[in-house]
Amino acid sequence: MEILLYISASIAAASLLLIAIFVIIAIRNAKKMMNEVSETMARMENKISGITTKSDQLMERTNRLAADVESKVQSLESLAQSTQHFRQSSENLNRSFHSISEKIAAPDPKRLELMEKLAALTEAASRIYFKFKSEKQNQNSYVQQELKQLPSPQKVK
């Protein structure tokens, strides 16, 4: 019976030794795996920091574009307001022209006679002016013709 006790003790020792060997192998594999996970995490951190940098740059660019768009929208709003003011001014000008044309088309009877006399006087003055102008042109052309017909001066020897 003692032999069985020694055999069972040696089997127990061998099994403990095998368990210890497998535990050591498992710990080594776990350490190796942990190193790989650490390296993977370091690579992930580098890539994430690159992505963060790029996203920050993109955010700054987006903010600049948004500010530029905002300024252009404000410019368009001021242009729209200017257009509205121009439209109102144009309408006021059209009303003024319409009012003036109505006053000219249907003048006050008191001023109608004066306007007719003024129109006749203006017409007479313009006829006299154009008559004198045409006579002056005719006279200038006659003098130029006479000058052309004169012999050219010759040098005396």
The chain-wide mean pLDDT, for the chain, equals: 87
Residue 118 counted as domain residue = yes
Comparing 133 with 20, which gets the higher pLDDT?
Answer: 20
The encoded tokens of residue 40 equal: 């993977």
Cα angle 65, 68, 72; round to 5 = 135
**Cβ–Cβ contacts within 10 Å for residue 107, how many?**
14
Please answer whether residues 118 and 126 qualify as being in contact, where contact means their C-beta atoms are separated by less than 8 angstroms: no
Residue 138 counted as domain residue = yes
Residue 139 counted as domain residue = yes
Residue 157 counted as domain residue = no
Please answer whether residues 107 and 115 qualify as being in contact, where contact means their C-beta atoms are separated by less than 8 angstroms: yes
Please answer whether residues 14 and 21 qualify as being in contact, where contact means their C-beta atoms are separated by less than 8 angstroms: no
Range 145-150 average pLDDT? 61
pLDDT given for residue 143 in this prediction: 66
Residue 24 counted as domain residue = no
Range 11-29 average pLDDT? 96
Using only C-alpha atoms, the chain has a radius of gyration, in whole angstroms, of: 56
Residue 60 counted as domain residue = no
DSSP letter at 92 equals H
Tally of domains within the chain: 1
pLDDT given for residue 107 in this prediction: 74
Comparing 115 with 21, which gets the higher pLDDT?
Answer: 21
The encoded tokens of residue 125 equal: 């003055």
Structural domain range at position 117: 109-143
Residue 128 counted as domain residue = yes
The single-letter code of the amino acid at 58 is L
DSSP letter at 107 equals -
Comparing 147 with 5, which gets the higher pLDDT?
Answer: 5
Residue 135 counted as domain residue = yes
Q: Which residues lie below 8 Å from residue 115, measured CB to CB, with a gap of 6+?
A: 107
pLDDT tops 60 at residue 157: no
